[in-house]
Amino acid sequence: MAETNPSKTDNLRANGGRLWATILETAAFGGTPAGGINRLTLSPEDARVRDWFREACEAAGLTVSVDGLGTQYALRPGRDMSRAPIAFGSHLDTQPTGGKFDGVLGVLAGLEVMRSLNDAGIETETPLMVVNWTNEEGSRFAPAMMASAAYAGEFTTDEILAKRDAAGISVAEALDAIGYRGGEAVGARAIGAFVELHIEQGPILEAEGKTIGVVEGGQGIMWFDGAITGFESHAGTTPMPRRRDALLALSEFALAAERIALAHAPSAVATIGEATILAPSRNVVPGRVAFTLDVRDPRSATLDAMEASLSEAATAIAERRRVEIALTRIWRKEPVPFDPAIVAAVDEAARSLGHPRRRIISGAGHDACNLAAKVPTAMIFVPCKDGVSHNESESATADDCAAGADVLLQTVLRLANAPRAEQPAR
């Protein structure tokens, strides 16, 4: 018999042991000897975890569909199917040296919410949906979070399908290669509200002894592609003053980027995460380098100021070193405030469960930041060890993961069982 008794739902907890077991089980898909995961989006390893997720969802009685960018949606019916589902989830792709929790926790805790509701025989008023967004990481195809951006209308599906990885393979080809280009139009599936559980990926919760971060928004992000053209010449015969060394120009620019971020301390950050000498050779002065630059801050005006300073620094270095520096912004994501009503629901769920909590802004990008443009959205953070993420040593405790899943469950129940008039609307 389906249950609606509020005291029964108030007391409901996720099965933390089962959640932990799924985290360890799926970590085998792309698992590395160092205990991390290398599961780039749309790779064979990603295909395996997607298949696992579909089968687990179907075994839990959910109906799974896939959109034209490979995003998986697993629906649990509600009593009132005219209401748009309360959705939750995250991503199952990882960085090349990723950990076991970034993204994975949010998707598997979403599955665990469904399983726990099934075990307790609880039916919700509003349908529920767990989502695995394609390519959150942006490591293989830029930009990051591309499928949720397309869902929210920031890009067309065709624009995303045409993006290429470093090997020249398009998103369309990669989706077809693993059989995950689904039939559903991107953005067509209605979502009433979205909640994403994630590890913090930073040091604040752990340092303050808080179990739950009630996330109020995400900071802004800019991604640049850079190219420096100097002149290739003989390493033994070219006097130092005559050189037009592209690598030395990049070295100066990297230090300038650090200075510019520090000028907006403590919030701003700047990272050159990829740098390649083209046609490298140990006895040739580097003539061409390509690099990427990631710049973030919670304020739009700071992003503007940093972009202007970076461009001035590039011009000055190029002139002094007689090289060309091309800096092209390929992506800008504005800082995102989350929906106050959904943030309040997360806060209330954490309070009712008795977890130490604090409000927090996300330093990382998340699919929730894109969803927020289209549906009422918020996030839940749990601590990770030493604040380390995007690293194979990334770690979170089973207790904290379970606490996050409980908060997700209680948030979702509050949203899904709210009277229609109080349901999030946009």
Which residues here bind ligand GLV, judged by CB under 6 A? 137, 144, 364-365
Could you tell me how far CA 168 lies from the centroid of its own chain?
Answer: 23
Q: How far is the CB of 296 from ligand GLV (least distance, A)?
A: 8
> Site for Mn ion (CB under 5 A): which residue of 70, 103, 213, 424?
103
Q: How far is the CB of 348 from ligand GLV (least distance, A)?
A: 27
Distances (CA, A) of 175 to 46, 136, 339, 372: 11, 15, 32, 26
Q: Which two tokens stand for residue 13?
A: 């907890």
Q: Report the relative pairing of strands 220-229 and 269-271 from DSSP bridges.
A: unpaired
Q: How far is the CB of 366 from Mn ion (least distance, A)?
A: 6
Q: Which two tokens stand for residue 85?
A: 């589902």
Q: How many residues does the chain have?
A: 426
Binding partner of residue 365 among Mn ion, ligand GLV, none, CB cut-off 5 to 8 Å per kind: ligand GLV
Binding partner of residue 49 among ligand GLV, Mn ion, none, CB cut-off 5 to 8 Å per kind: none
Helix, coil or strand: residue 86 = strand
**How many angstroms separate the CA atoms of 239 and 236, rounded?**
8
**How many angstroms separate the CA atoms of 39 and 135, rounded?**
10
Q: Report the relative pairing of strands 377-382 and 193-199 from DSSP bridges.
A: parallel
In terms of CB distance, is 102 or 339 closer to Mn ion?
A: 102
In terms of CB distance, is 149 or 327 closer to Mn ion?
A: 149
Q: How far is the CB of 324 from Mn ion (least distance, A)?
A: 33
Binding partner of residue 113 among ligand GLV, Mn ion, none, CB cut-off 5 to 8 Å per kind: none
Helices (H), 60-199: 104-120, 146-151, 157-161, 171-177
In terms of CB distance, is 220 or 287 closer to Mn ion?
A: 220
Q: How far is the CB of 89 from ligand GLV (least distance, A)?
A: 15
In terms of CB distance, is 152 or 364 closer to ligand GLV?
A: 364
In terms of CB distance, is 318 or 384 closer to ligand GLV?
A: 384
Applying CB under 5 A, does 45 fall inside the site for Mn ion?
no
Q: Which two tokens stand for residue 244?
A: 């037009």
Residues that bind Mn ion (CB under 5 A): 102-103
